[in-house]
Structure 1
Amino acid sequence: MDRDDTTLRVLSTSDLDGLDISLTDVVDTVEQAYRTLAAGKSDNPRKLTVKPEDGHSVSYAMLGRDGVRGVVAIKTSYKHGLHDDRARQHYYTTLTLYDDVTGLPVAMMDCSRIGSLRTPAVSALLARECAAPGATTALVIGTGTQGRLALPFLLTTLPELDRLLLSGTHPDGIAAVRAELARHFPDREVETVTELASAARESDVIVATAGPHTPAAVEAGWLRPGATAILVGHGLAPSTLHRADRVIATSEAQMRITGTDMADSQGALPTVDLELPSAIAGVSKARTSPEQRIFAYNSGLVVTDIALGHHFAQRAAEQDLGTEVALWR
């Protein structure tokens, strides 16, 4: 079917799973999106959130524009069953892309794989910008979707890391973390830890990816001088934010929407010292002293989803993947 303004390429989970992309390619694509945003060439408005009073579900809508790629997109996410364990939850996320040069739709796709790659890539960029000189030990908390790729991405941006620690409770998740590490870095091994406080005290970089029901909560007093603590999901106590020497975020506005569980007893969050796009663009340094304890907040910016999603859409079109749907006929 010829492409026109009535058809839309729909890319399923299996379509995207069939596309190979290297970790370096993902990091480069995400980094480019941040540089474009820092240069004022892209737009990333604050996300919209809807959550019922009992908190059983949450939904987000994010609109953005990549000025270099010439693409406009909207991402939606819906998660149901937040009070249930992960196996009983329902989660759907989609990304719809439009070509802002031709005015034609590009694709609509499942956004789960994009998120599973983009988020650990952002954590790895935060680690690269925030880690103290000579950082050698990394600790990942959690073995879910984000935990499984956290170490391979960290090694992509910080290849000098020589000790890898993992805190997790689910045997299948621990096995999955080991498998992903072996797939990307077959010569590296990960140590599982049971004493979180001791592991945190030994770590230069901590990435907390655990789910909301985790009992893990690293306290500020456990962090060594120069440590970087990156929050993706759960696993860090609010003290790591409020007692940090520097606070870095992908977006302060997004942190104030999705980071309310880290607020103090008055419901307040501290001011962010620097946003990641500015650090990547070289406007200012994330770390200004080797001894600083840095808290970094990883919240999704839709411009990174747009860049990675467009990358996938181009590859899918080259391989004639997906289904052309006459949506507007």
Structure 2
Amino acid sequence: MTDTPQHAPADADQRLRLLSRSDLAGLDIPLADVVATVEDAYRTLHAGQSDNPRKLTVKPADGHSVSYAMLGRDGSREVVAVKTSYKHGLDKDRSEQHYYTTLSIYDDVTGLPLAMMDCARIGALRTPAVSALIARECAVPGARSALVIGTGTQGRLALPFLLTTLPQLDRLMLSGSHPEGITAVREGLRAHFPDREVEIVTDLRTAAAEADVIVATAGGHTAAAVEADWLRPGALSVLVGHGLAPSTLHRADRVIATSEAQMNVTGTDMADPDGKLPPVDVEFPPVVAGTAVGRRTATERIFAYNSGLVVTDIALGHRFAQLAIAQGLGTEVALWR
């Protein structure tokens, strides 16, 4: 789905519309539309119409926090945006962590600001949509079973998005240790696919061996770590957070990444004892654009690294901004006066 650019009037004053988490929470957008928006962002990037520079990372020596800054330009929507992400308390339990992420969008036709918004919901939708696109392009033909590891933000919509791109899946498995997270996953699945049920698994090795698609979204404190020799022939393993051991990457028959540069920045926990990551066989944008092959054979085990590209945040953020502005949501501030 390509949004028709709706640019701010050239004579508008330089006010900034702030869109809070609550402003965005009530906006309704079907999962299929999210997938289409993200897919269009990949296609536009591959066509050379968008820019997605490597992200900047700051992390203190003791690892208690991590910060990212990402700049990008969407050529089809003609907007420029900056995304910031800050997470504090990585050395603590999830309940004690703090996470803030924002997206600031500028109209690259008029040169005026469009919106600054909380990016939490955008990320919660964009990431599982990308995993679902990877599954559509790279899962074994006729894939029937999926396993999601983790019940945090990125795990809660993983199954509904997988069913959006792979509706033939008939066994949905979940590995998680937080009761409230498991409940949230069930509620999310029921909201989008009320006739489907999720199977809670406790034997991760057995579940992994029976899954055609594995999406690992767990947090850094997880004890889950699927090994390469647990995987069935033809399995697709998608890493979003944690839950896969480094062997799934180093012993994969094919390695795919949304961005090899970003994988080399954020995927260092998957390095071998010498601190090295294997080369990526193909990046995902040309795969989704149809100019490169995702899967070559029905038996190869594929590892896919989903780090997320800022152009996908921009596309989805722009879509949310359009919907919010049309409904009169948000607060305008004269930030530069």
Aligned to 2:53: 45
Alignment partner of 1:304 is 2:312: yes
CA distance in 2, matches of 1:175, 1:89: 21
- CA drift at 1:195: 0.3
- CA drift at 1:24: 0.4
Aligned to 2:218: 210
Aligned to 2:194: 186
Q: What letter corresponds to residue 74 of structure 2 in structure 1?
A: D
CA distance in 2, matches of 1:5, 1:285: 48
Aligned to 1:245: 253
CA distance in 1, matches of 2:271, 2:162: 28
Q: Aligned with 2:69: secondary structure?
A: strand
Aligned counterpart for 2:272 among listed residues 264, 272, 278: 264
CA distance in 1, matches of 2:102, 2:170: 37
Alignment partner of 1:129 is 2:137: yes
Q: What letter corresponds to residue 141 of structure 1 in structure 2?
A: I
CA distance in 2, matches of 1:112, 1:285: 32
Aligned counterpart for 1:106 among listed residues 114, 130, 133: 114
Matches within 5 A, 1:21-170: 21-170=29-178
Q: Aligned with 2:172: secondary structure?
A: strand
- Pairs aligned (count): 328
CA deviations 1:245-288 (Å, max 9, x no partner) are 00001000000000000000000000101111100111111100
CA deviations 1:177-223 (Å, max 9, x no partner) are 11110110001111000100000000000000000000000000000
Q: What letter corresponds to residue 169 of structure 1 in structure 2?
A: S
CA deviations 1:140-197 (Å, max 9, x no partner) are 0011111110000000000010100010111111111111101100011110001000
CA distance in 1, matches of 2:124, 2:143: 25
Contact in 2 for aligned 1:5/1:105 (Cα 8 Å)? no
Alignment partner of 1:324 is 2:332: yes
Q: Aligned with 1:309: secondary structure?
A: helix
Q: Aligned with 1:145: secondary structure?
A: coil
CA deviations 1:214-251 (Å, max 9, x no partner) are 00000000000000000000000000000000000100
CA deviations 1:86-132 (Å, max 9, x no partner) are 11011100000000011110000000000000000001011111101
CA deviations 1:303-326 (Å, max 9, x no partner) are 000000000001111001000000
CA deviations 1:55-97 (Å, max 9, x no partner) are 1111000000001100000000011111001110111000000
CA distance in 2, matches of 1:250, 1:56: 26
Q: What letter corresponds to residue 51 of structure 1 in structure 2?
A: K
CA distance in 2, matches of 1:143, 1:319: 32
Aligned to 2:5: none
List alignment gaps of at least 5 residues for structure 2: 1-8
Please report the RMSD computed on the Cα atoms of aligned residues, expressed in angstroms. Answer: 0.9
Aligned to 1:292: 300
CA distance in 2, matches of 1:134, 1:311: 33
CA distance in 2, matches of 1:250, 1:111: 20
- CA drift at 1:4: 2.7
Q: What letter corresponds to residue 151 of structure 2 in structure 1?
A: T
- CA drift at 1:5: 4.1
Q: Aligned with 1:98: secondary structure?
A: strand
TM-score (norm 2): 0.96
CA distance in 2, matches of 1:6, 1:158: 45
CA distance in 1, matches of 2:138, 2:247: 18
CA distance in 1, matches of 2:154, 2:56: 23
TM-score (norm 1): 0.99
Aligned counterpart for 2:283 among listed residues 272, 275, 280: 275
Q: What letter corresponds to residue 75 of structure 2 in structure 1?
A: G
Deviating above 6 A after TM superposition, structure 1's stretches of 4 or more consecutive aligned residues are none
CA distance in 2, matches of 1:188, 1:122: 22
CA distance in 2, matches of 1:146, 1:5: 38
